[in-house]
Amino acid sequence: MSSLPTVLIIGCGSIGERHLRTFLATGRCRVLACDNRPPILAAMAERYAAPTAADWRTALATPGLYAAVVATPAPSHVAIATEILRAGKHCLIEKPLALTLDGMEALTAAHTAGGRAAGIAYVHHFLTEVAAARAFLQTGTLGRVLHASVVSGQDFPFFRPAYREIYYRDRAQGGGAIQDAFTHLANLMEWFLGPVATLSCEAGHQALAGVEVEDTVAVTARTHAGAIVVWSLNQFQAPNETTLQFNAEHGSVTVEYHRRRWGRLARGDQAWTWETFPPAERDAPFIAQAHAFLDQCEVKPTGVASLADGIQAVRLNLATFESLRTGRRVTVA
Ligand SMILES: NC(=O)c1ccc[n+]([C@@H]2O[C@H](COP(=O)([O-])OP(=O)(O)OC[C@H]3O[C@@H](n4cnc5c(N)ncnc54)[C@H](O)[C@@H]3O)[C@@H](O)[C@H]2O)c1
């Protein structure tokens, strides 16, 4: 039998199956597939020859178990992750970490006491063009970022045809554009610029058939470091495009996901300098994330979002909802 450590994948739905496949692709671990729907387990056994378990609590006691990935819908993330960390296993948790701040103290205590890795799967950190742009901005060549914008959208019915049948249709299950998509880009901007201090939000259901949750979000914010940030996103537009722009004291940086490139233009330059990457499979950033998480388990520095980052992202979501509800600008708690 292989001596590779075992990673338990809890929830093998859409993203859990991707984690299963991409952790296997690292060649650094075996996987144990867990789901409470028997047909899903049968599919994981058939497609990947993966061993399976119907109950995650029982599976945590599997000899040789090293780490677990929590890929169930968001309301169960904190309770499951707390038990994983209490069992002394490393833990990677899907976004959003939670819908409320309930249970965060116990989760944080379990993390601190166990000394194991705990990361949040904000996978945009592992897009090559994003990471390259961030590394350049961090050199400080362009000075402080004063203003940043995110413009993003995709045809969700094409990319996630089951959206009406899954958690997405219900905010209480983690659904809607704020908890599903905005949280990725909100966390991303905080990864670049530090935490948001205040924000205001406009959002609503504009187009997606068969659901009533918001599919369109506009947020303006100011970070503690003083940058003004604007997000504009929807989940119905035809083009699958995301553009980030950072305007700093001495120039600008742009990232275009859909062209797989990032560019810089210093004040006084006549043209952008671009770095373009070859087209990548959809699994590529998830394989990079799996490697990074396994590195994090070995106490190496990585770009995986921390537990504290995940808790901050929940606070940001809650402030976004409060602003939407009250029509006011809100201070992030
Ligand atoms: N990072 C990304 O790009 C990305 C993409 C999609 C979803 N997500 C996040 O991942 C999470 C799951 O989303 P999804 O789209 O895979 O949902 P999904 O509904 O397709 O899959 C969830 C799976 O969890 C299983 N499950 C639920 N409770 C369980 C339990 N107690 N024990 C074992 N299995 C259980 C379900 O049977 C289902 O198969 C959500 O938090 C979502 O926001 C992240």
Q: Which atom of ligand 1 is nearest to the CA of 184?
A: 1
> What is the residue-averaged pLDDT of the chain?
97
One-letter amino acid at 291 equals H
pLDDT at 146 over 90: yes
pLDDT for 180? 97
Question: Sorting pLDDT into bands at 50, 70 and 90, what band is 2?
Answer: low
Rg of the chain on CA atoms, in Å:
20
pLDDT at 105 over 80: yes
Burial group, residue 232, by CB count within 10 angstroms (0-12, 13-18, 19+): middle
pLDDT at 130 over 90: yes
Minimal-distance CA residue to ligand 1 atom 33: 35
pLDDT at 88 over 60: yes
Rounded to 5 degrees, what are φ and ψ at 213? -65, 160
- Give residue limits of the domains in the chain: 6-123, 127-277+304-331
Distances from the Cα of 210 to the Cα of 125, 161, 164, 166, 176, angstroms: 32, 11, 6, 12, 12
Burial group, residue 271, by CB count within 10 angstroms (0-12, 13-18, 19+): exposed
Query: Mean of the pLDDT values across residues 116-144?
Result: 98
Q: What is the pLDDT of residues 5-41, one digit of tens each?
A: 999 999 999 999 999 999 999 999 999 999 999 999 9
Tell me, in angstroms, the distance from the centre of ligand 1 to residue 252's CA: 37
Partners of residue 307 on adjacent β-strands? none
Kindly state if the Cβ of 41 falls inside 6 Å of ligand 1: no
Question: Sorting pLDDT into bands at 50, 70 and 90, what band is 3?
Answer: confident
Q: Please identify, in words, the CATH class of the domain defined by 6-123.
A: alpha beta
pLDDT for 331? 98
Domain 127-277+304-331 has CATH 3.30.360.10: yes
159-162 long-range CB contacts below 8 Å, 24 or more apart?
A: 159/240, 160/14, 162/14
> Taking a C-beta distance cutoff of 8 angstroms, is the pair 73, 174 a contact?
yes
Tell me, in angstroms, the distance from the centre of ligand 1 to residue 263's CA: 35
Pocket perturbation via mutation, ligand 1, pick of 78, 94, 160, 182 by most ligand atoms within 8 A of CB: 94
